[in-house]
Amino acid sequence: MNKAQLVEAIADKVGGRQQAAEAVDAVLDAIVRAVVNGDRVSVTGFGSFEKVDRPARYARNPQTGERVRVKKTSVPRFRAGQGFKDLVSGSKKLPRGGEVAVKKAPKGSLSGGITAKATTKKATAKKVTAKKATAAKTAAKKATTAAKKTTAKKATAKKTTSKKATAKKAPAKRAAAKRAPAAKRTARKATKRAARS
């Protein structure tokens, strides 16, 4: 179904082809403008439209196999709502002719509500808060890494000191080991002399 067929499909419900064309244009224009500004457009039972940032990356040219750098970009994304998914999968049946397939908006939601500017301010505030939280996490990770490195250096220094101390004690132990057999021999001789006398 293209745009002209969509206009034709709703012309009877809206009151004529001209009004239907204007309604379709107005809805599409509102969705596009909101998504370009970074707002999320959510239609209950149908789905949501949003702007998604893609980071710079490397890709492969399918014809040559050459590695190509792709710049950072923003793309629109549509996520189908649960009601729409259920109708497409067949778990729910599509309503007959005169009934609306998409759930109607809840009471009070069409009475004006929040303006686009207020929504944009909220989205910007959320982004700033998220950036601050990320910066705090990064700082905490750096501090933890630095503390681990310092602890590792201290442990290495202690090991080195204990090795040096052990190396100093080793000659003394060897000398004591050499003296021990001589002392034992002297003690044996003394015991034998005492036994003879």
Strand partners, 54: 73
Element (H, E) at 149: helix 116-196
Cα distances (angstroms) measured from residue 60 to each of 66, 68, 71, 72: 5, 6, 13, 16
Of 47, 33, 48, nearest to 117 (Cα)?
33
Interval 162-174 mean pLDDT = 58
| Interval 14-27: pLDDT, tens | 889 999 999 999 99
Predicted local confidence at residue 184, as pLDDT: 72
Gyration radius of the chain over CA positions: 40
Give pTM, 2 decimals: 0.49
Least-confidence region, from 31-45, 73-87, 157-171 = 157-171
pLDDT greater at residue 115 or residue 13: 13
Least-confidence region, from 25-29, 39-43, 102-106 = 102-106
Interval 28-41 mean pLDDT = 94
| Interval 105-121: pLDDT, tens | 666 665 554 444 555 55
Distance CA 109, CA 43 (A): 11
- Give 194's DSSP letter: H
Distance CA 135, CA 143 (A): 12
Q: How confident is the model at residue 189 (pLDDT cuts 50, 70, 90)?
A: confident
Predicted local confidence at residue 31, as pLDDT: 94
Predicted local confidence at residue 116, as pLDDT: 47
Structure token pair of residue 60: 């492969």
